[in-house]
Structure 1
């Protein structure tokens, strides 16, 4: 008989305030002498560029901290693969002391990325072979513009499972695809014994059984650490498998925990503050409408369009007069969103505007979670060069009534395509995702051109 313990995390999202407790818990559990073997896995979205230190270091600070968790393997989530430019992902794991498993991502030439392998086989002290396959959310719409070829799960798993046949005793999926796709895998591919998942931020306190596969996930933000205990017989077959979670808030706290997490934030802040972006004039003094107007100009300029739309909930802090630093901009617009150039027929643009106006009252104070949004409420939608008369239901572009047969281009965000409130964008829009720059970079570069810092000038805030 053999006892195996599998510890797991997912969707940490750079919540460094939880890291001291998680590290102590994992390090102690990894020394558990009541079991024969302990493995530790992470199921992706361990970094989030809304954290100043993650943003300033391109995620290398995350890797440095995760090295202390003694992971045996990790996979990536969309926050690693999509929110970062291609070249950043290529070097994200340069100093990782753990392997990255990822079966469904390729370079554009179909070669395997140098920083990952499709799977890894671990052999316990008692010779049980555990194969771990990594999978990430298959989003071709956003991976493609970032110069990756992400493959569908059904495209890679059959051949991979055939190649692995006879090479393992226990099969584990380390996935960042969400609990519904985890369940689909469990139904379609009975070879999997355990799926350690993430992405949907689902808390499965004792796991979820789908046929003979156990699916586990720990919610989000390091609030819980997952724990699976397996008993394996002398023929290396699982006879028992039970899952539980440990709440981080209930773990013992030490005096230095708070100061450590504050120091990480302060380090990121100082790094970002070194980069001065623009010198904003007095008209920006706490004027949110002016910030919106210039931001609409910025995304329109970036996309090469005359029209644009943005929502007020994106702006978490106001622009201020004086020197704007990268920290100021990151604090205001922490969302890992990308600008999209959308082409719509006039009749469809009219319908998009009607969808916005229909939902305006509802969205004004709607609490939104996910879809790359890091704020609280969606807010009001503002347009660039679009006017609406809801009494007559007429829409005007640059003062002229919209031509239903003409084609128009509007600068939008991938966020607006992902949320369910404006289906016209996703259903009939010809959407060109403009990678790799995120929203804050696009706006920052525009501000730098429009309001440059004069050489040797000291203005406003330091």
Structure 2
């Protein structure tokens, strides 16, 4: 029998806290398996890079590629954090110095050609001649990818095409999926010839994998909390898998490195130093969280050219120290990879949404995901809207005028509000315009500069 060991990580999101021990663990395991004459493959399933970390931001993700190189990864696929939070030029060159394959079947340039740094699939041949075919797919957000200058296609159609291409030339088929658990399960049902689907995106934890028919599903949570391990036992004469097993290793239980705390601090401080070289303002004074939230909301409405805007105060994590404001300062207080969005609502819909924003629940509501990197949603802040705590339709105004139920209004919001969890009328709205690639902190930087310029005049 031949044994193939596959190790995998996913959705690190630049949480480097455990990376030194993950790196050491993977290096040790590679040595073990090579000494035993066993096959070793190492994959990452995307969202390794997250611009909420200062060093990822400062290096345009290149530090993440460097870490993957040093750990000896064979291949990765990308997640939405690489695909739609990095500007086109940054993603185009993110993998220039990679020592691994980027496997991604459903991403194209706008003209329909594959990017030079992408391969639709790769085949790894074992010592006994078994051919392991690997392809990759990422979550399909066609409109957002289009705004970033890319074309992303239907993952099911691409997978069907890949399986046709690989038929007869591979013995084992593996999918690197950044689609999420529900799609992984659906693919296992629709494509039973798939041997292994290694997943990400929805941060699910499968401690011993999960069998869906004859397909093994695997995923290792998020933030480097686990490292995944899949063991395939192969009958090389029959050229088939006779056993599939999977485990997760809790990184809290892995051997800590002597200098790992220092290393993690160095990564953070290096990013801080690089971002601190760009000065946004030399003597800014409006530095409280309330002032900054109001400033950001005004900037959102002005840049989007909307009738009104609202944001959650929790987007601003801390106060600023009066005086010099750097790019790092704004990254520290507003680290979220959240874009502006303009949604069109009728007056009746806007009234419904505004009354919902005045609910006291927001002040202490804990939020995770949707691009939000804080903890508490916080109460709402408005621009161009006269709010009322009396929850009366008649008292709501936009730019000083009562809201007309049949009239159409453009409302600028953080794009996280377009998800169904928050405001049903916004989720249902047909007209949504996402403003990419700028994040909320970029709007805040623009407004601070504008405010300082006006004060100087």
TM-score under structure 1 length normalisation? 0.94
Q: Which residue of 2 aligns with 1:120?
A: 122
Match of 2:322 in 1: 321
Q: Show the counterpart of 2:197.
A: 195
The structural deviation recorded for 1:356 is 2.2
1:349 is displaced (CA, Å) by: 1.5
Q: Secondary structure at the match of 1:68?
A: helix
State the superposition RMSD in angstroms. 1.6
- Is contact 2:284-2:325 (8 Å) kept? no
Larger displacement relative to structure 2 (347-356 or 6-15): 347-356
Deviation string 1:168-193 (CA, Å, 9 cap, x unpaired) is: 11010101111111111111111111
Partner deviation per Cα, 1:340-359 (whole Å, 9 max, x = no partner): 122222222222213323xx
1:386-417 Cα distance to aligned partner (Å, 9 max, x none): 12443532221122110122221111121111
| Aligned mate of 2:180, from 170, 178, 181 | 178
What is aligned with 1:415? 416
Q: Would the alpha carbon gap of residues 53 and 419 (structure 1) be closer, same or farther in structure 2, given more than 3 Å must change?
A: farther
TM-score by length of structure 2 reads 0.95
Instruction: Say if 2:42 is the partner of 1:40.
Output: yes
Three-state SS of the structure 2 residue aligned to 1:183 is helix
Residue segments in structure 1 that go unaligned for 5+ positions in a row: 456-462
Residues 279 and 453, structure 1, Cα contact 8 Å, conserved in 2 = no
Query: Bigger shift: 390-399 or 408-417?
Result: 390-399
Alignment-derived partner of residue 28 in structure 2: 28
Q: Distance in 1 between the 2:74 and 2:44 partners? A: 9
Distance, in Å, in 2 between the alignment partners of 1:384 and 1:454 is 21
Paired residues in the alignment total 451
Task: Identify the residue that residue 68 of structure 1 maps to in structure 2.
Answer: 70
Bigger shift: 68-77 or 161-170? 161-170
Q: Is the 8 A contact 1:278 1:453 kept in 2?
A: no
The structure 1 residue matched to 2:56, chosen from 54, 57, 61, is 54
Instruction: Measure how far apart 1:377 and its partner are.
Output: 1.1
Match of 2:252 among 249, 254, 257: 249
Corresponding position of 1:101: 103
- Partners in 2 of 1:102 and 1:11 — Cα distance? 16
Q: Is the contact made by 1:355 and 1:421 (CA closer than 8 Å) also made in structure 2?
A: no
Q: How far, CA to CA, are the matches of 1:454 and 1:130 in structure 2?
A: 64
The residue that corresponds to 1:425 in the other structure is 426
Alpha-carbon displacement from aligned partner over 1:272-301 (angstroms, at most 9, x marks no partner): 11110124543x24x222111111111112
- Asked whether 1:374 is paired with 2:382, we answer no
**Conservation of the 8 A alpha-carbon contact between 1:140 and 1:149:** yes
Distance of 2:241 and 2:399 partners within structure 1: 68
How far did residue 74 of structure 1 move? 0.3
Contact 2:355 2:391 in 1 (8 A): no
Tell me how far apart the structure 1 counterparts of residues 173 and 283 of structure 2 sit (CA, whole Å): 57
In 2, Cα distance between equivalents of 1:441 and 1:114: 30
Q: Distance between the aligned counterparts of 2:369 and 2:447, measured in 1?
A: 27
How far apart, in 1, do the equivalents of 2:224 and 2:346 lie?
45
CA distance, structure 1, for counterparts of residue 103 and residue 213 of structure 2: 25
> 1:278 — aligned with what?
281
Q: Note if contact 1:280-1:320 (Cα within 8 Å) is conserved in structure 2.
A: no
Secondary structure of 1:377's counterpart equals coil
Contact 1:138–1:150 (CA under 8 A) maintained in structure 2 = yes
Q: Out of 223, 226, 246, which is 2:225 matched to?
A: 223
Structure 1's 126 and 454: CA in aligned 2 closer, same or farther, altered over 3 A?
farther
